Amino acid sequence: MTVIEGLRIAGSSAVLALVLVGLIRRYALRHQILDHPGPRTSHTRPTPRGGGLGLVIAFLVVMFAVPGLRSLVPVLLALVGVAITALVGWLDDHRSLGVRARLVAHLVAGVTLLPLALWPAAVPAWLGIGAAFWWVFWAVSAINVVNFMDGIDGLIGTQALIFGAHLASAGVAGGLPETFGLALAGASAGFLIWNWPAAKIFLGDVGSGALGFLFVLGGLLLMTEGQASIVTAFLPLFALFLDASVTLTRRLRRGEPITQAHRSHLYQRLANGGWGHARVSLLYAAVALLALPITALPATWMNLGIVAYFLAVLVLATTLDRRAP
Q: How far is CA 50 from CA 25, 56, 236, in A?
A: 8, 11, 25
- For the segment 277-303, the average pLDDT, to the nearest whole number, is 94
Mean pLDDT, the chain, rounded, equals 91
The pLDDT of residue 208 is above 60: yes
Render pLDDT for 245-256 as a digit per residue (tens, 0 to 9): 999 988 888 887
With a cut of 60, say whether residue 262 has pLDDT above it.
yes
Show the DSSP H helices in the chain as ranges: 3-30, 52-64, 73-94, 99-111, 114-117, 130-149, 155-170, 176-195, 204-224, 230-234, 238-254, 266-270, 277-295, 299-323
301 to each of 168, 184, 315, how far by Cα in Å? 21, 29, 21
pLDDT over threshold 90, residue 205:
yes
Whether residue 285 is preceded by a cis peptide bond, meaning omega within 30 degrees of 0, is: no
- CA 154 to chain centroid, in Å, comes to 12
pLDDT at 123 over 70: no
CA distance linking residue 223 with residue 206, whole number of Å: 26
Residue 62 CA to chain centroid, in angstroms? 18
Contacts of 246 (CB under 8 A, 6+ apart): 266, 317, 321
Helix pair angle (238-254, 277-295), 10° resolution: 120
Q: What is the mean pLDDT of residues 165-176?
A: 92
Q: What is the pLDDT of residue 38?
A: 65
Provide the 10 A C-beta neighbour count for residue 19.
13
HSE, side-chain direction, 13 A CA sphere, residue 173: 4
At residue 120, the pLDDT reads 59
CA–CA dist 312, 20 (Å, integer): 39
Beta bridge pairs of residue 35: 47
**Whole-angstrom distance, CA of residue 99 vs CA of residue 112:** 20
pLDDT of 71:
78
Residues 139, 132 contacting (CB under 8 angstroms): no
Grade residue 303 by pLDDT with cuts at 50, 70 and 90: very high
pLDDT at 225: 85
Amino acid, single-letter form, for residue 231:
V
Q: What is the pLDDT of residue 46?
A: 86
- Judge whether residue 203 has pLDDT over 60: yes
121 pLDDT above the threshold of 60: no
Task: Decide if pLDDT at 125 tops 60.
Answer: no
Looking at the chain, how many residues does it have? Answer: 325
Q: What percent of the chain has pLDDT over 70?
A: 94
Cβ neighbours of 38 (radius 10 Å): 10
| pLDDT, tens digit, 9 for 90 and up, residues 93-102 | 988 888 889 9
β-strand partners of 47? 35
pLDDT tens, residue by residue, 7-49: 999 999 999 999 999 999 999 999 999 887 765 666 668 899 9
pLDDT of residue 185: 98
Closest CA to 138 of 219, 216, 239, 214: 216
How far, in whole angstroms, is CA 193 from its chain's centroid? 17
pLDDT at 174 (0 to 100): 87
